[in-house]
Structure 1
Amino acid sequence: MKLLLDFLPLILFFATFRYADGNKEAAAAFASEHFGFLVSGGQVGLAEAPVLLSTLVVIAATLLQVLYLKVRRQKVDLMLWISLVMVVVLGGLTVWLHSDTFIKWKPTGLYAAFALVLGLSPWLAGKNLIRAMIGDQLALPDAVWATLNRAWVLFFATMAVLNIAVAYSVDTSTWVNFKVFGITALMAVFMVGQGFYIHRHLPPEDDAGAPKP
């Protein structure tokens, strides 16, 4: 359930963009009629309609994510709060200014923020956030936790640069595919690599699932 909730905004963004991109005239007319008041000039053109509608959907989905967790009295992770701020600010600019530039910068801003938070938290808060999130599930040496934290910092910094490099190198439709499938695949590969690294450093009782005789 949590995995679906985490990926819901991304899924809805992709589905909305693909449908609107294949029906641009209808999408532009719908966006102008129902959301023209959010757009500078009040009219949405054929070219920007897919991005505008998918941006509105991802803003609404992220807001609903936070609201759902709040209603259920569950913790809203810091990264979700950062994502909400990014998508509302940059998504709002995308809608108002008819420009996909801002929403393309959203993943880069988000990943850069994650890298900064993870990188600075040991210095400013005296806390390794990766350890804080999953440390109660794994018994690992301090040096391993530090390495994992650095690896996530490097990964997010790399993704921040890669996203904007792709965004400025290809058309919007191709960037959407990269955002949904490329970034997700890279994240999966990175997490598998982390899994192998963690496995190598687990104590015998965690590695085997039970204490050795």
Structure 2
Amino acid sequence: MNKTGSFFASTGCVIKLISRNSALVIGLSASAALAGESAVSLMNAGMPSACAEYAENVSKSEGNFSSISPLVNGVRCYGAFQFCDSGTIQQYYSGTPQQFLNDPSAQTAAWVKYQQNQWQFAQKGGLTSAVGKEVCYNGTCAVLTQSSILKACQFGCAGPTSKLAKLVAAGMDCNAPGTSDGAGTSVCKYLVSGAGYDVSCITKSSDGVNCIAPSKP
């Protein structure tokens, strides 16, 4: 089992995986990921600088400004934050999907608004109670922060049928039914990988964590 934490370095927020069974330490820089937009490109598209590192983290799990997802259950998603044509892109953007892809600033503005709305849903539904809890996924553990909750809200946080709501109701059991999307991606993956980022531009508050210190084995 590994423990995960993150801290700011000159190249961005670095995740460290520290094995309980050995002294091996592996550093994975978010900026080294192959997919997604960088903090700089996101800021150039209007992303608030305070949330740029977090937005980069989410984008690297989702896509680039020009990304189009495969068709899953009749739904296709678009852009750096994968707004889907099941109603989400229509709610946050008035143009066509292609126009959305061609407009990074619109993608950024839509995503910030989406995240702000999802944070309100998470608070209303009691999902922010998960902050401070430890969750493990595929051998990696993290203490959840506000940014964990928000990244999990990429799956949507409105109502008791959301992936995160079902996880909280199941006592944070990552194997519980209804906690993965149609492509099989677990909400726990997003909770763990999203821990430790400044999201005050969205939540208008701070949980005192801005890249958490690495845990000791």
TM-score calculated relative to the size of structure 2: 0.30
Say which structure is richer in helix: 1
Which is bigger in relative contact order (C-alpha 8 A, separation at least 6)? 2
Q: Which has the larger radius of gyration?
A: 1
Say which structure is richer in strand: 2
TM-score calculated relative to the size of structure 1: 0.30
